[in-house]
Amino acid sequence: MDDPVQCYRISSNFRMLGRLPIEDVELYLTVCGTERCTSDKFYGPIVRRDYHVHFILSGGGTLEMDGKVYRPHRGQIFVTVPGVNLFYYSDPEDPWHYAWVSFNGSKATLYLEKAGLTAEHPVRDCYLDPEEFLGIIEEILNHHEITVANELTRTALLYQILALLVNSQNQNLEKQNKPLPHDYSPDVYVDNALAYIHNHYTDAKVSDIASYIGITRSYLTHIFKQRMEISPQEYLLSYRLEQGSRLLRTTGMSIQEIAEAIGYENPLTFSKMFKNVYGMSPKYYRQKVLEKESL
Protein backbone atom coordinates (compact mmCIF):
# COMPACT_ATOMS: atom_id res chain seq x y z
CA MET A 1 0.00 0.00 0.00
CA ASP A 2 1.19 3.52 -0.74
CA ASP A 3 2.69 5.49 2.08
CA PRO A 4 -0.14 7.91 3.03
CA VAL A 5 1.92 11.06 2.60
CA GLN A 6 0.33 14.02 0.89
CA CYS A 7 2.04 15.15 -2.29
CA TYR A 8 1.47 18.63 -3.72
CA ARG A 9 3.24 19.53 -6.96
CA ILE A 10 3.07 22.59 -9.17
CA SER A 11 4.79 23.75 -12.36
CA SER A 12 3.99 26.05 -15.26
CA ASN A 13 1.64 23.54 -16.89
CA PHE A 14 0.86 21.08 -14.11
CA ARG A 15 -0.72 21.22 -10.66
CA MET A 16 -1.55 18.13 -8.60
CA LEU A 17 -2.59 17.08 -5.12
CA GLY A 18 -2.36 13.36 -4.43
CA ARG A 19 -2.18 10.49 -1.96
CA LEU A 20 -4.36 12.16 0.63
CA PRO A 21 -4.16 10.65 4.12
CA ILE A 22 -7.82 10.31 5.16
CA GLU A 23 -10.22 7.88 3.43
CA ASP A 24 -13.96 8.05 4.01
CA VAL A 25 -15.85 4.80 3.53
CA GLU A 26 -18.54 6.16 1.20
CA LEU A 27 -16.44 8.56 -0.83
CA TYR A 28 -12.86 9.77 -0.59
CA LEU A 29 -10.56 11.87 -2.70
CA THR A 30 -7.28 10.34 -3.90
CA VAL A 31 -5.83 12.69 -6.53
CA CYS A 32 -6.81 15.85 -8.34
CA GLY A 33 -5.06 18.29 -10.60
CA THR A 34 -4.85 20.24 -13.83
CA GLU A 35 -2.49 19.81 -16.76
CA ARG A 36 -1.77 21.33 -20.15
CA CYS A 37 -0.54 18.19 -21.84
CA THR A 38 2.20 18.10 -24.45
CA SER A 39 1.61 16.49 -27.82
CA ASP A 40 3.48 13.33 -26.74
CA LYS A 41 1.78 12.97 -23.33
CA PHE A 42 0.33 9.53 -22.52
CA TYR A 43 -0.73 7.40 -19.54
CA GLY A 44 -0.60 3.65 -19.44
CA PRO A 45 -1.12 0.97 -20.23
CA ILE A 46 -2.24 0.87 -16.59
CA VAL A 47 -4.90 -0.64 -14.32
CA ARG A 48 -6.01 1.83 -11.68
CA ARG A 49 -7.57 1.30 -8.27
CA ASP A 50 -9.85 4.35 -8.31
CA TYR A 51 -12.03 6.44 -10.62
CA HIS A 52 -10.42 9.30 -12.55
CA VAL A 53 -12.84 11.89 -14.01
CA HIS A 54 -11.33 14.28 -16.55
CA PHE A 55 -12.89 17.59 -17.66
CA ILE A 56 -11.46 18.63 -21.03
CA LEU A 57 -10.90 22.39 -21.16
CA SER A 58 -9.34 22.46 -24.64
CA GLY A 59 -7.87 20.14 -27.25
CA GLY A 60 -8.50 16.43 -27.41
CA GLY A 61 -7.01 12.99 -27.28
CA THR A 62 -7.69 9.27 -27.34
CA LEU A 63 -8.91 6.93 -24.61
CA GLU A 64 -8.49 3.18 -25.00
CA MET A 65 -10.32 1.27 -22.28
CA ASP A 66 -11.59 -2.28 -22.06
CA GLY A 67 -10.84 -2.86 -25.75
CA LYS A 68 -12.78 0.19 -26.97
CA VAL A 69 -11.48 3.46 -28.39
CA TYR A 70 -12.93 6.92 -27.65
CA ARG A 71 -11.83 10.38 -28.76
CA PRO A 72 -12.93 12.90 -26.09
CA HIS A 73 -12.54 16.61 -26.85
CA ARG A 74 -13.16 20.09 -25.48
CA GLY A 75 -16.42 20.32 -23.50
CA GLN A 76 -16.54 16.60 -22.76
CA ILE A 77 -15.88 14.46 -19.70
CA PHE A 78 -14.29 11.04 -19.60
CA VAL A 79 -13.87 8.60 -16.74
CA THR A 80 -11.43 5.77 -16.24
CA VAL A 81 -12.63 3.00 -13.94
CA PRO A 82 -10.87 0.70 -11.47
CA GLY A 83 -9.69 -2.75 -12.47
CA VAL A 84 -9.75 -2.14 -16.23
CA ASN A 85 -6.74 -1.94 -18.51
CA LEU A 86 -6.54 1.53 -20.02
CA PHE A 87 -4.33 3.80 -22.07
CA TYR A 88 -4.88 7.43 -23.05
CA TYR A 89 -2.88 10.06 -24.84
CA SER A 90 -3.02 13.58 -26.28
CA ASP A 91 -3.89 14.49 -29.82
CA PRO A 92 -0.49 15.28 -31.43
CA GLU A 93 -1.93 18.28 -33.30
CA ASP A 94 -4.19 19.67 -30.56
CA PRO A 95 -3.18 18.19 -27.16
CA TRP A 96 -5.70 18.39 -24.41
CA HIS A 97 -5.74 20.62 -21.38
CA TYR A 98 -7.83 19.06 -18.64
CA ALA A 99 -8.61 19.10 -14.97
CA TRP A 100 -9.18 15.83 -13.18
CA VAL A 101 -10.43 14.48 -9.89
CA SER A 102 -9.91 10.93 -8.65
CA PHE A 103 -11.79 9.14 -5.91
CA ASN A 104 -13.22 5.88 -4.65
CA GLY A 105 -15.52 4.57 -1.95
CA SER A 106 -18.60 2.42 -1.56
CA LYS A 107 -20.87 4.95 -3.30
CA ALA A 108 -18.47 6.08 -6.03
CA THR A 109 -19.94 3.75 -8.67
CA LEU A 110 -23.53 4.74 -7.82
CA TYR A 111 -22.83 8.46 -7.99
CA LEU A 112 -21.11 8.13 -11.35
CA GLU A 113 -23.93 6.01 -12.75
CA LYS A 114 -26.37 8.77 -11.74
CA ALA A 115 -24.06 11.20 -13.55
CA GLY A 116 -24.20 9.11 -16.74
CA LEU A 117 -20.59 7.91 -16.53
CA THR A 118 -19.95 4.17 -16.51
CA ALA A 119 -17.43 1.64 -17.81
CA GLU A 120 -19.80 1.04 -20.75
CA HIS A 121 -20.31 4.78 -21.40
CA PRO A 122 -17.16 6.53 -20.16
CA VAL A 123 -17.51 9.73 -22.22
CA ARG A 124 -20.24 12.35 -22.22
CA ASP A 125 -20.71 16.07 -22.82
CA CYS A 126 -20.29 18.39 -19.85
CA TYR A 127 -23.64 20.15 -20.48
CA LEU A 128 -21.99 22.93 -18.44
CA ASP A 129 -18.97 25.11 -19.05
CA PRO A 130 -16.05 22.82 -18.08
CA GLU A 131 -14.43 25.81 -16.36
CA GLU A 132 -17.07 25.39 -13.61
CA PHE A 133 -15.46 22.08 -12.70
CA LEU A 134 -11.99 23.57 -13.07
CA GLY A 135 -12.86 26.24 -10.51
CA ILE A 136 -13.87 23.64 -7.92
CA ILE A 137 -10.79 21.50 -8.54
CA GLU A 138 -8.57 24.55 -8.15
CA GLU A 139 -10.30 25.24 -4.85
CA ILE A 140 -9.42 21.71 -3.72
CA LEU A 141 -5.83 22.32 -4.76
CA ASN A 142 -5.79 25.53 -2.73
CA HIS A 143 -6.64 23.50 0.42
CA HIS A 144 -3.59 21.23 0.23
CA GLU A 145 -2.30 21.68 3.79
CA ILE A 146 -2.80 18.64 6.03
CA THR A 147 -5.48 19.83 8.45
CA VAL A 148 -8.85 18.42 9.50
CA ALA A 149 -10.57 21.57 8.24
CA ASN A 150 -8.97 21.13 4.81
CA GLU A 151 -9.89 17.44 4.70
CA LEU A 152 -13.53 18.38 5.31
CA THR A 153 -13.36 21.16 2.72
CA ARG A 154 -11.85 18.88 0.08
CA THR A 155 -14.51 16.23 0.68
CA ALA A 156 -17.29 18.82 0.48
CA LEU A 157 -15.89 20.11 -2.82
CA LEU A 158 -15.71 16.56 -4.19
CA TYR A 159 -19.39 16.10 -3.36
CA GLN A 160 -20.10 19.43 -5.06
CA ILE A 161 -18.46 18.18 -8.26
CA LEU A 162 -20.53 15.00 -8.22
CA ALA A 163 -23.72 16.96 -7.51
CA LEU A 164 -23.02 19.14 -10.55
CA LEU A 165 -22.41 16.04 -12.65
CA VAL A 166 -25.70 14.43 -11.58
CA ASN A 167 -27.72 17.64 -11.94
CA SER A 168 -26.32 18.37 -15.39
CA GLN A 169 -27.13 14.82 -16.49
CA ASN A 170 -30.72 15.14 -15.22
CA GLN A 171 -31.17 18.53 -16.88
CA ASN A 172 -30.01 17.06 -20.18
CA LEU A 173 -32.50 14.20 -19.86
CA GLU A 174 -35.29 16.71 -19.19
CA LYS A 175 -34.36 18.70 -22.30
CA GLN A 176 -34.71 15.50 -24.32
CA ASN A 177 -38.06 14.74 -22.63
CA LYS A 178 -36.62 11.54 -21.22
CA PRO A 179 -37.79 10.23 -17.82
CA LEU A 180 -35.44 10.89 -14.93
CA PRO A 181 -34.13 7.85 -13.08
CA HIS A 182 -35.50 7.40 -9.57
CA ASP A 183 -32.63 7.62 -7.12
CA TYR A 184 -34.28 5.76 -4.24
CA SER A 185 -36.62 2.85 -3.62
CA PRO A 186 -40.42 3.34 -3.66
CA ASP A 187 -40.51 2.75 0.11
CA VAL A 188 -38.23 5.73 0.69
CA TYR A 189 -40.51 7.99 -1.35
CA VAL A 190 -43.68 6.71 0.33
CA ASP A 191 -42.17 7.09 3.82
CA ASN A 192 -41.31 10.69 3.01
CA ALA A 193 -44.77 11.30 1.56
CA LEU A 194 -46.35 10.01 4.78
CA ALA A 195 -44.08 12.20 6.89
CA TYR A 196 -45.00 15.23 4.77
CA ILE A 197 -48.72 14.53 5.14
CA HIS A 198 -48.45 14.06 8.90
CA ASN A 199 -46.65 17.40 9.25
CA HIS A 200 -48.60 19.44 6.68
CA TYR A 201 -52.03 17.81 6.47
CA THR A 202 -53.88 21.11 7.05
CA ASP A 203 -52.81 22.58 3.71
CA ALA A 204 -51.04 19.77 1.82
CA LYS A 205 -51.86 18.96 -1.78
CA VAL A 206 -50.71 15.85 -3.62
CA SER A 207 -48.83 18.02 -6.11
CA ASP A 208 -47.03 19.69 -3.18
CA ILE A 209 -46.02 16.32 -1.77
CA ALA A 210 -44.65 15.07 -5.10
CA SER A 211 -42.78 18.33 -5.70
CA TYR A 212 -41.25 18.27 -2.21
CA ILE A 213 -40.02 14.70 -2.65
CA GLY A 214 -38.82 15.30 -6.19
CA ILE A 215 -40.94 12.84 -8.19
CA THR A 216 -43.94 13.19 -10.48
CA ARG A 217 -47.47 13.13 -9.11
CA SER A 218 -48.35 10.11 -11.26
CA TYR A 219 -45.37 8.11 -9.95
CA LEU A 220 -46.18 9.06 -6.35
CA THR A 221 -49.77 7.92 -6.82
CA HIS A 222 -48.62 4.65 -8.39
CA ILE A 223 -46.18 3.64 -5.64
CA PHE A 224 -48.43 4.97 -2.85
CA LYS A 225 -51.33 2.80 -4.03
CA GLN A 226 -49.05 -0.21 -4.28
CA ARG A 227 -48.01 0.06 -0.65
CA MET A 228 -50.96 1.73 1.11
CA GLU A 229 -53.75 0.36 -1.13
CA ILE A 230 -55.29 3.85 -1.35
CA SER A 231 -54.25 6.98 -3.22
CA PRO A 232 -52.32 9.83 -1.59
CA GLN A 233 -55.42 12.02 -1.88
CA GLU A 234 -57.56 9.43 -0.10
CA TYR A 235 -54.95 9.00 2.64
CA LEU A 236 -54.67 12.77 3.10
CA LEU A 237 -58.44 13.07 3.50
CA SER A 238 -58.55 10.14 5.91
CA TYR A 239 -55.70 11.49 8.02
CA ARG A 240 -57.22 14.99 8.13
CA LEU A 241 -60.56 13.61 9.34
CA GLU A 242 -58.78 11.33 11.80
CA GLN A 243 -57.23 14.42 13.37
CA GLY A 244 -60.66 16.04 13.40
CA SER A 245 -62.15 13.06 15.26
CA ARG A 246 -59.28 13.22 17.76
CA LEU A 247 -60.00 16.88 18.47
CA LEU A 248 -63.71 16.10 18.85
CA ARG A 249 -62.88 13.44 21.44
CA THR A 250 -60.20 15.24 23.41
CA THR A 251 -60.95 18.98 23.28
CA GLY A 252 -63.79 21.43 23.81
CA MET A 253 -63.10 23.22 20.54
CA SER A 254 -66.11 24.21 18.48
CA ILE A 255 -66.90 22.46 15.22
CA GLN A 256 -65.82 25.57 13.32
CA GLU A 257 -62.53 25.75 15.23
CA ILE A 258 -61.82 22.09 14.55
CA ALA A 259 -62.67 22.48 10.87
CA GLU A 260 -60.21 25.37 10.56
CA ALA A 261 -57.54 23.50 12.57
CA ILE A 262 -57.50 20.60 10.12
CA GLY A 263 -57.64 22.68 6.96
CA TYR A 264 -61.34 23.27 6.16
CA GLU A 265 -62.33 26.89 5.74
CA ASN A 266 -66.02 25.99 5.70
CA PRO A 267 -67.32 23.96 8.70
CA LEU A 268 -70.19 22.68 6.55
CA THR A 269 -67.68 21.07 4.18
CA PHE A 270 -65.95 19.46 7.17
CA SER A 271 -69.25 18.17 8.51
CA LYS A 272 -70.21 16.71 5.15
CA MET A 273 -66.83 14.96 4.67
CA PHE A 274 -66.86 13.71 8.26
CA LYS A 275 -70.33 12.21 7.89
CA ASN A 276 -69.34 10.48 4.64
CA VAL A 277 -66.53 8.67 6.46
CA TYR A 278 -67.89 8.17 10.01
CA GLY A 279 -71.58 7.84 9.19
CA MET A 280 -72.59 10.67 11.54
CA SER A 281 -72.11 14.41 11.94
CA PRO A 282 -69.23 15.76 14.03
CA LYS A 283 -71.71 17.04 16.62
CA TYR A 284 -73.41 13.65 16.97
CA TYR A 285 -70.02 11.88 17.03
CA ARG A 286 -68.94 14.03 19.98
CA GLN A 287 -72.21 13.33 21.80
CA LYS A 288 -71.78 9.57 21.38
CA VAL A 289 -68.20 9.77 22.72
CA LEU A 290 -69.35 11.77 25.78
CA GLU A 291 -72.18 9.33 26.41
CA LYS A 292 -69.77 6.38 26.40
CA GLU A 293 -67.44 8.16 28.82
CA SER A 294 -70.25 8.87 31.22
CA LEU A 295 -71.30 5.24 31.48
Q: pLDDT digits over 186-214, tens only? A: 999 999 999 999 999 999 999 999 999 98
Which pLDDT value is given to residue 2? 41
29 contacts 140 by C-beta, under 8 angstroms:
yes
pLDDT class of 9 with cuts at 50, 70, 90: low
Rounded average pLDDT over 35-39: 94
Residues in the chain: 295
* pLDDT over 80 at 7, yes or no: no
What residue segments make up the domains of the chain, in order of their start? 7-175, 182-288
Among 108-112, 168-172, 224-228, 238-242, the minimum mean pLDDT is found in 168-172
> Alpha carbon of 166 to those of 72, 152, 282, 288: distances in Å?
19, 21, 51, 57
Class of the CATH-defined domain 7-175? mainly beta
**CATH architecture group of domain 182-288:** Orthogonal Bundle (1.10)
Percent of the chain at pLDDT > 90 equals 78
pLDDT class of 290 with cuts at 50, 70, 90: confident
Do the domains 182-288 and 7-175 match in fold? no
* pLDDT over 70 at 181, yes or no: yes
Which pLDDT value is given to residue 178? 80
CA dist 239 and 194 (Å) reads 10
Which pLDDT value is given to residue 175? 87
